[in-house]
Each structure stands twice: as C-alpha cells, then as structure tokens.
Amino acid sequence: MTITDKEFLATELSMGIGFDSPGFKVLAEVTADAIKGLGHSLLDYGAGTGVYADAFYNAGFDVSIYEIFKAHREYISQNAPHLRIIDKPITTDIMAFIEVAEHMTDEELNDLFKMISPEYILFSSTSERKPGWDELWGHINVKDQGEWDVFFDLKGYEILKRLTVPTTWAKIYRKK
C-alpha cells in the first residue's frame, strides 16, 4: 500500500522538507548557486514542496514547475504564489530532476525524454534500496549511480560535473 499525496506532503513537512525549515531553504539556496551560469530557464520536474523552485527563482532563473500531486501544487501556491505551475513538461535550459526518477518507470522516463530535451539536467536519485520503505514511498525504479549514467548516456547526455548538493550523489548532465 502506498500513501496518498496528502500523507506524502505531511510526512515531508514533518521531516523538515518545506518552507518552514530554514535548513532546507539554505540547502535549496546552495543548490541554486551550484547551477548558476548554466542557463536562464528552468523546469523543476516533480517539484515536491517547491522550496528548490523558489530558490531557483530567487537566484534569477525563469522557473516553471511540473508537479503531479495536487496537495503539493496547493502547498506551493499557498507558500510561493509567484511560481508558475504548468500542466505538462516543457523544454528549458535546465531541468531540476531531484529525487524524482526513482518514482518513475523506465517507460515513463523514456516518454518524458521524448517530450522534452533540456540542455542540462540537475539530477539526484537515491541508489539506496530499503525494503518496505521503497514500496511505501513509491520507489519503483531505484538504480545504482552507474546505471543512471548509462541511462542518460543513451538519451544523449554526459556528466558535466558531480555535486555535493542537494545530495552526495547529485550531478549535472549536459547534452553531448
């Protein structure tokens, strides 16, 4: 059994992943600083609580958000009404793809990259497998980091650089 979007949001907020968490907001700001100079337009795909999107916006990026969960879209609208939430993904200079890919099947990922083709991808996806936790949180596609590198290579991307934010396994891919 998986949790609802409202339960998912409530749990994230209880873990300090929201606008009321100064530490999380600082992490988002540092993450935004790490990608300055790569482009101007940014799609935050699977934006969650919107804190990263807000930090990207405050760093001067033209930000669009694509988020499937209604509870998250409502939370973002209440806390950052200046952010633009869109109905379908669009191609931008940069796609922030932070802790989302493990929630998507390879088929869904392939469909996404048939629709859009960002120049850069700020990517982070856990490689830790935790029985029980993964099922509850909808982690249906946990890959080792090398497997993600192969996946993106097949999509026409190469690693530009590895980062330490927002996670230790974060990296930036760029079009070849």
Residue-level pLDDT at 104: 86
pLDDT in tens, the chain (176 residues): 568 899 889 988 998 999 999 999 999 999 999 999 999 999 999 999 999 999 999 999 999 999 999 999 999 999 999 999 999 999 999 999 999 888 888 999 999 999 999 999 999 987 766 766 656 566 767 788 999 999 999 999 999 999 999 999 999 999 99
Question: Which residue reads 């982070």 in tokens?
Answer: 124
Instruction: Please give the Cα distance from 114 to 109 (Å, whole number).
Output: 9
Instruction: Please give the Cα distance from 58 to 75 (Å, whole number).
Output: 18
Q: Could you tell me the residue ranges of all domains in the chain?
A: 5-175
Residue-level pLDDT at 132: 64
Per the confidence metrics, is the pTM higher than 0.85?
yes
In this structure, whether the domain defined by 5-175 belongs to CATH 3.40.190.10 is answered with no
Residue-level pLDDT at 134: 55
Residue 42 sits at the vertex; the CA angle it makes with 49 and 5, to the nearest 5 degrees, is 25
Instruction: Please give the Cα distance from 3 to 166 (Å, whole number).
Output: 24
